[in-house]
Structure 1
Amino acid sequence: MQAPAGYYPQQPYYAPGWTQAQTQPQRHRGRKIALFATLAVVVLGVLGTVTAAGLYWWGTQPIGDVTSPTSATARQVRAGHCIRDLPADGSVGSVTLVPCSDDHEAEVLGSLRLDDGPWPGDDGAAEAAAWCEMDNDHAAAGYRPVVWTPSRQSWTQGDRVALCIAWLDD
């Protein structure tokens, strides 16, 4: 078969110093992607762990004098703090601390450090309740004692403090 008139075969021309492009299969591309994905997962895991540890640490640091409404975890509350609204019975996540000159429902009277060992459960609550006493002024004003003790979860995280709180439910 002969090429039609005016047809030039499409042969590439390579100038001196140029080379013909070699197409090699990219054998390692899948490995590179897997390595990058693994590295990304590790980096994100480390960042997540550091962030969680930082937030946990921040949530356990005591709060000093309260000059304006401040959100606090139960582990940050100390004697002398006033709590705007006491949460319902059960696990206490966070509360709002207010200056004691503001309207508030409860005052933290004191704290008791519980002994190390296994989680005391009801025994720890009973010990803290026996220790928690209000002064005559609080009792005369109608305050009732409330005791916060560490939950099983917070106990495993090192929480050993029970709080004695004077609560006025009205």
Structure 2
Amino acid sequence: MTTENIWRRTLAIATIAVAAVALSGCSILDQVTNQISDAVDPGAGTTQDIFSLVIGDCEVGNQDGGEVSSTKTVDCAEPHDAEVYAASYMAEGDFPGDSAIEDQATADCYAEFGTFIGADYDDSVYDFSWYYPTEGSWSEGDREILCLVYDPSGNQISGSLAGAAE
């Protein structure tokens, strides 16, 4: 495929995406955004089930909220949006609710941040987010919280942030 064909295809998909969002609402925005990303660089990353992520995995196309079941991972030497740096687990029992899970995720990810980055969170240029169990995944035995580090300015990262000390 020539560069001109790639740009033409990307422009066509972007036009369709804008029309689709305007006509259908924002609920499909993530899906359309992912389709545009795939069209621009279809080889960027390997689609991976969210439940198979492990510490040290790096992802591209990081989701901005909402329930996800898969993500694209790349070698951390490649430009990426986030890196999984820690995992913790919720206690067994009834679903504790999103607020309790978010409280534990915040505490656990904050506690592990400095150890991984090599700088206190409050002094770092990086931020963190997490993947956490939903009520649906909880009923299937999901108790894992995965902590992800990313650049809040939106810049991609090349290389692992382990020991970055910034």
* TM-score range for the pair, normalised by the shorter chain length: 0.5 to 0.7
- TM-score, structure 1 as length reference: 0.55
Corresponding residue of 1:155: 138
Percent of pairs identical after alignment?
26
The residue matched to 1:111 in structure 2 has which SS? strand
What is the distance in 2 between the residues matched to 1:137 and 1:131?
Answer: 16
CA-atom RMSD in angstroms: 1.9
Matches within 5 A, 1:1-170: 69-121=45-97, 122-133=99-110, 134-135=113-114, 136-137=117-118, 142-168=125-151, 169-170=154-155
Listed as ranges, the gaps of 5+ residues in structure 1 are 1-67
In 2, the alpha carbon distance for the partners of 1:88 and 1:147 equals: 11
Give 1:149's aligned amino acid: Y
| Number of equivalenced pairs | 103
Task: Give the Å deviation of 1:85.
Answer: 1.8
What is the TM-score of this pair, normalised by structure 2? 0.57
The alignment partner of 2:93 has SS state of coil
Deviation track 1:132-156 (CA, whole Å, cap 9, x = no partner) reads 1323457566221102110111111
After superposing on structure 2, the runs of 4+ consecutive aligned residues of structure 1 that deviate more than 4 Å are 136-141
Q: 1:128 to 1:141 in 2, by over 3 A?
A: closer
Task: Flag the structure with larger Rg.
Answer: 1
Secondary structure of 1:164's counterpart equals strand
